[in-house]
Structure 1
Amino acid sequence: MMTCKQVSKGSAYKYYGRQVVVGDGRRPRGRSLEEAQAEAGVPPGVWMGRALLAVGLVAGARVTEEQMRNLFGEGLHPDADRIVAGRLAAGDSPAAAARAARLGYRIQKWSGNDLVFRPPGSVQALWALGTPPVRRLIEDIHTRIIGEVLTEAETEHLWVRVGGDSTVQRARAGVIAARFRHYENRDGMPLLHDHVVLSVKVRRQDDRWGTLHTRSFLEYAVALSELYNQRLMEEICRALDLATVPRYPTAGQRPVMELAGIPEQLIDWAATRNKATMQRLKELADQYQKGTRQPLTTKIRQRLMARASHETRPPKTKTSWPLPALRARWRDGAVALVGEEVVDNLLRLARLAAAAIRTSIRTAVDVAAAALEITAIVSVHHGGRFRHRHLLAEARRYLTRTLHGHPAPPHTDTTITAAAIRDHCIPGDPPNPDKPTPLAYRTFTPAWAPTSPRGSTTPAAHRIHHRARAEAARRTALARAETQQKPPVRQQEHTPQAALQQLPPAPSQAPGGRG
């Protein structure tokens, strides 16, 4: 999955400089970034993004402390110190030298967005307990899929405000991002995850630097997260001959797709943070319902989940362990839980389960059926009013759920989304011919339901997934019945005579010419 939170200049940036860059541990005072990362056993941060060339950086180059401070602490060019020194040496005034190091206007509050990518629990278990080649393979796929997600983000979902009326316009493709890899959670349990800190500095269409319209970007965070989930599991299953199955960690909520054959004890064993969070969430949900006597909606549940996660967050340890030491400790814990034979044969167990699943997988995608199903599900989850991003995210969930790790053909997700909008949706807002609304901002309603206030039909959180699936099944059955009730095509329409009637008139012949 991928989560996202904003990074402010100043205090939030200092948090990243002290802890995130050194594996979520605590960086000793006076210790250089390189020394602290080496002691923590985490690789150095690296640069990524298409806009690196515009600031003289190279993808994969090491992120330095000065570059982090300049870009995310002040919103300046990553090499602002070098630029200012060069301009001063050339005779520029201090003010002119400072302007040369700026990337557009000064940032007001937010300097970046922290995208955190982490595989599901079964992948974490296989990564932590598998052989070194399996571990490296999972890490390589994880890195590559992060790159794919970032490519979509920087080519499809970058917007800036320009002009005196703050008109929202598409930005030029390209971001500046720093990626930091971590190996464990706050409890020292396996949690492969990467922080991709994305600068808000992007280029406008006139090639000047502007500031990312963050709200528009964050609106597509769920769709980007589902892209990561889909592509990660596809590539891992393809490389290791595995398959996925749904797992329902929370009753009434959407399933999480996990690798088949990985024992649930190992998935739960690594998820120490999740267990504490879910226990606190149950307490908060009970308090809310007793105090308000209202059902727990999805939106309220999300807010309580964020609070539960924050309240159960343990303090960060000051002790850092290199990955080989962590893997040895994890193996001891897993062996004590499920036995040495299970741990040693984890990949074989997963392949055995996958072989049984693959015999029943339908690898062909019925776009029409998928479009109807995702529209029905989204209409229930979002109270009958939704946008393109909701359909796109659901299309990716559909592919992940139905193909069980088999790779979907390229662009199948966008094809399903387009079919859903074309065949099963109607505009929810009046059209404006003078100023067409971008697709990302258009509101839709399902073609079979009247427009209703947003959220008016949203069921309680513990029932919403079952109700959405039931609505999808009902709509699919209705569509199938309508198809079966259509009168059969008359046979003569398929005869040569009928086909001849569909041909355009033949060109006129000259007298005496051939017939």
Structure 2
Amino acid sequence: MAGLPPGRWRGRGLAGLGLSEGAEVSERHMALVFGQGRHPNADRIEQRLLDDGADSAAARRATVLGQPIEEIEARNQTPLLALDFTFRPQVSLTVLWAPGDAHTRRVIERAHERAVAQALRWLEDDVAETRWASGRGRARTPALVVAAFRHFDNRDGFPLLHEHCLILNRVQHRGGDGEPRWGALGTTRLYQNVVAAGTLYSLAMTTEVCEELGLATVPREVTPGLRPVMEIAGVDAELIAWSSTRRQRIEDALEGLTYTWVQEHGRLPGEKARHGLGWQAAQDTRPEKKTPRPLEQLLAWWRASAVLKFGRQVVDGLLDRCRTVGAALRARVDPVVDTAFAAVDVAAVVFTVRRNFARRHVLAEARRHLLETLRGRAFAPGLDDDIANRALADHARQTTVPQPGRRVPAADQIFYTADFTEPDPWFIAGTGGRPPRESSRYERARVASLAVRNAIRTARTATPQPRRHRPPRTPSNTPAGTSPSHRRSGRPPSTPTNRLRCPTYTWEAGRQTRRRGCAHRRTWPGSPPTPARPTPAAAPSRTDRPRPPTRAVRSTSAARSTNSSTGSPARTKARASSRDSPPGGTGGEANGPDAGTRPVAQCRDHRGPAGYG
């Protein structure tokens, strides 16, 4: 098409067609391959066969790739000859590319081309497969035939760098006789992995551009409640709006569609309904394509438009401003990714959004997480796969059960679920004249992952509390075990490493839980040796055990009633002092003959010198 660069052939499957990587796609190639399902050099092959004496039908059939289109249409089916995978960078990268200098444009275009190639290689290696016999036969085929076409503008003529990759729905595989045969692709698997391929492209391109130009990314909320888009830091929202000309028209149309939906249903649309209304608004406001213009003319017009709206100083200093902001952000970003936290976030988001998910969903979210966490910094190859594998291993459980006698499902066809606690939905007040909305599944997923992250962080940082130095306590004539504050002060520390456990009770986070059947007692570190317990036959009965003097009990009750009636803070202060004290009483409390030592911690049924009451 005039004004656009010619298409280029890509993919490992070009060898079976006699084509080379990067060769130009002619109009005749497009008509034969994607219009008739025939060899790109069908005219030459057919003419050679006719010269050798073959009839016209046999000569034509020899140029067909796979099943002829005529046979498919004879069964009242629509033939599918290609799939269009479109790759495009974030708007901020397009804004840097359009009015930028030649070096900036070369860096962005080279990163775009490499990212597209990496996404196509991933589709070939991990996704592509061929099928025959109505899907009963399947085989991996890491060789696709792709025709790539690069476009530079949107339907309004503003900058939008993107690439259309037409993937031919034909691929070679080895037949029963060992000879190569053309068959159809497993298009369902390609459709299922389109999001994972797109996230791989965005991650690869953004990382290369940021590393090459010294930039960083920041999250930008495009649709309230949905995942933010990682844009280049330093590109203002006004510049993004200048390039995204259709955004305002879509929002205006969406407001009218939402109002009509509320009038019909009597309630606000949910998340799924909002997605449908957004798609309808985009289709209703989609203009017709215009005649493409050469890139040199577009670059001059884009620069003039940007300078007229924002000024020459803003346009010329855009890259320097982005580098300054990016350097500050990159200095604060830790280049090491904590895979444990990353796996929690990825699993929580995928589970809350989808409930049942496959590995492709986890892998796509892992790539989004790397782009959001590293802010454009480089990472080790294969880190996205490591995070996805850990999320499935640590936080997911398989729900797909292989059936005996049936084909074992592929790895990306196995589904999982998780056991995260999802918070209840809440409503969020609207801003800018928008109506209130219910919290999205993505927002609830972030809250669910935060709880698990905090638990992991607490487990990592939990260490034994150092023992406080206390002055020696003054002996007293008060018998040990008769003071209620003495018993209260015997609480063990509530840190996980210093829990006091017993078959009858346990202390955890400052709370006592009773359990039956105690047969032993535990002591605190530094306590005196525990006297030998009597044998069960010689142990006194519960009614024969010594009890505290009656006078002490009455004085305790009186002290409580006096404090409660007068509102004195004495009891409150005693409690605070006892919590800060080691077992056995406060620093100034009398402890009888055991003063200055840590008494034995015992169960409720084993009252003694330091019995818990």
TM-score grouping bracket, smaller chain normalisation? 0.7 to 0.9
Q: State the shift of 1:386 in Å.
A: 1.1
Q: 1:110 matched to which residue of 2?
A: 80
Match of 1:473, as an amino acid? L
Q: Could you tell me which of 398, 404, 407 is aligned with 1:427? A: 398
Q: Secondary structure at the match of 2:81?
A: strand
Shift in CA distance, 281/79, structure 1 to aligned 2, threshold 3 Å: farther
Distance in 2 separating the partners of 1:159 and 1:466:
36
Q: State the shift of 1:346 in Å.
A: 0.9
Total equivalences in the alignment: 442
More contact order relative to length (CA 8 Å, sep ≥ 6):
1
Q: State the shift of 1:385 in Å.
A: 1.1
TM-score of the two chains, using structure 2 as the length reference: 0.69
Moved more, 298-307 or 81-90: 298-307
Q: State the shift of 1:307 in Å.
A: 2.0
In the alignment, is the contact (CA less than 8 A) between 2:87 and 2:164 conserved in 1?
Answer: yes
Q: Could you tell me which of 267, 288, 291 is aligned with 2:240? A: 267
Mark the runs of 5 or more structure 1 residues left unpaired by the alignment: 1-21, 23-36, 451-455, 489-515
Mark the runs of 5 or more structure 2 residues left unpaired by the alignment: 73-78, 428-436, 463-494, 499-613
In the alignment, is the contact (CA less than 8 A) between 2:169 and 2:187 conserved in 1?
Answer: yes
Q: State the shift of 1:428 in Å.
A: 1.6
Shift in CA distance, 214/356, structure 1 to aligned 2, threshold 3 Å: same
Q: Could you tell me which of 43, 62, 85 is aligned with 2:5? A: 43
Q: Secondary structure at the match of 1:296?
A: coil
Is 2:30 aligned against 1:68? Answer: yes
Moved more, 394-403 or 76-85: 76-85
Is 2:138 aligned against 1:161? Answer: no
Q: 1:239 matched to which residue of 2?
A: 212
Distance in 2 separating the partners of 1:204 and 1:277:
45
Moved more, 322-331 or 212-221: 322-331
Q: 1:397 matched to which residue of 2?
A: 368
Distance in 2 separating the partners of 1:393 and 1:99:
42
Q: State the shift of 1:449 in Å.
A: 6.5
Q: Could you tell me which of 250, 262, 265 is aligned with 1:292? A: 265
Match of 2:202, as an amino acid? N
In the alignment, is the contact (CA less than 8 A) between 2:216 and 2:330 conserved in 1?
Answer: yes
Is 2:379 aligned against 1:408? Answer: yes
Which structure 2 residues correspond to residues 252-331 of structure 1 after superposition, within 5 A?
Answer: 252-293=225-266, 296-318=269-291, 320-331=292-303
Deviations 1:451-503 (A, max 9, x none): xxxxx999987522221211111121233345547659xxxxxxxxxxxxxxx
Deviations 1:329-365 (A, max 9, x none): 1112111222110101111000000011011101101
Which structure 2 residues correspond to residues 371-386 of structure 1 after superposition, within 5 A?
Answer: 371-382=343-354, 384-386=355-357
Distance in 2 separating the partners of 1:210 and 1:421:
34
Deviations 1:97-139 (A, max 9, x none): 1121011112442110111111111101110011012112211
Match of 1:415, as an amino acid? D
Match of 2:395, as an amino acid? H
Q: Percent identity?
A: 36
Moved more, 402-411 or 90-99: 90-99
Distance in 1 separating the partners of 2:284 and 2:458:
51
Distance in 2 separating the partners of 1:288 and 1:134:
46
Q: 1:357 matched to which residue of 2?
A: 329
Distance in 2 separating the partners of 1:96 and 1:458:
67
Structure with the greater alpha carbon radius of gyration: 2
Distance in 1 separating the partners of 2:260 and 2:357:
30
Q: Could you tell me which of 440, 446, 467 is aligned with 1:463? A: 440
Distance in 1 separating the partners of 2:40 and 2:286:
32
Q: 1:213 matched to which residue of 2?
A: 186
Distance in 1 separating the partners of 2:61 and 2:183:
15
In the alignment, is the contact (CA less than 8 A) between 1:84 and 1:97 conserved in 2?
Answer: yes
TM-score of the two chains, using structure 1 as the length reference: 0.81
Q: 1:195 matched to which residue of 2?
A: 164
Shift in CA distance, 228/127, structure 1 to aligned 2, threshold 3 Å: same
Deviations 1:135-168 (A, max 9, x none): 122111111110110111111111232235x226
Deviations 1:222-255 (A, max 9, x none): 1111011111100000110111110112211110
Is 2:201 aligned against 1:224? Answer: no
Which structure 2 residues correspond to residues 441-452 of structure 1 after superposition, within 5 A?
Answer: 441-448=413-420
Distance in 2 separating the partners of 1:293 and 1:472:
33
Shift in CA distance, 448/116, structure 1 to aligned 2, threshold 3 Å: closer
Q: 1:56 matched to which residue of 2?
A: 18
Shift in CA distance, 337/104, structure 1 to aligned 2, threshold 3 Å: same
Match of 2:389, as an amino acid? A
Match of 1:124, as an amino acid? T
Shift in CA distance, 458/114, structure 1 to aligned 2, threshold 3 Å: farther
Q: 1:249 matched to which residue of 2?
A: 222
Deviations 1:294-319 (A, max 9, x none): 5534443333333222211112223x
Distance in 2 separating the partners of 1:254 and 1:444:
22
Deviations 1:242-270 (A, max 9, x none): 11110112211110001111121111100
In the alignment, is the contact (CA less than 8 A) between 1:172 and 1:205 conserved in 2?
Answer: no
Distance in 2 separating the partners of 1:328 and 1:93:
56
Q: State the shift of 1:92 in Å.
A: 1.2
Distance in 2 separating the partners of 1:198 and 1:396:
23
Q: State the shift of 1:169 in Å.
A: 2.2
In the alignment, is the contact (CA less than 8 A) between 1:285 and 1:296 conserved in 2?
Answer: yes
In the alignment, is the contact (CA less than 8 A) between 2:199 and 2:367 conserved in 1?
Answer: yes
Question: Of Structure 1 and Structure 2, which has the larger fraction of its residues in helix?
Answer: 1
Q: 1:83 matched to which residue of 2?
A: 45
Give RMSD over aligned pairs: 2.2
Moved more, 264-273 or 278-287: 278-287
Distance in 2 separating the partners of 1:192 and 1:141:
12
Distance in 2 separating the partners of 1:380 and 1:346:
39
Distance in 2 separating the partners of 1:325 and 1:103:
40
Deviations 1:409-439 (A, max 9, x none): 1001111111111111111233335542211
Match of 1:349, as an amino acid? R
Distance in 2 separating the partners of 1:200 and 1:113:
7
Distance in 2 separating the partners of 1:447 and 1:466:
17
Q: Could you tell me which of 440, 443, 457 is aligned with 1:480? A: 457
Q: 1:439 matched to which residue of 2?
A: 411
Q: State the shift of 1:397 in Å.
A: 0.3
Shift in CA distance, 111/297, structure 1 to aligned 2, threshold 3 Å: farther
Deviations 1:348-385 (A, max 9, x none): 00000001101110110111211111000111111x21
Distance in 1 separating the partners of 2:116 and 2:183:
24
Distance in 2 separating the partners of 1:224 and 1:285:
32
Distance in 2 separating the partners of 1:269 and 1:127:
14
Shift in CA distance, 77/303, structure 1 to aligned 2, threshold 3 Å: farther
Distance in 2 separating the partners of 1:480 and 1:43:
53
Q: Secondary structure at the match of 1:337?
A: helix
In the alignment, is the contact (CA less than 8 A) between 1:200 and 1:214 conserved in 2?
Answer: yes
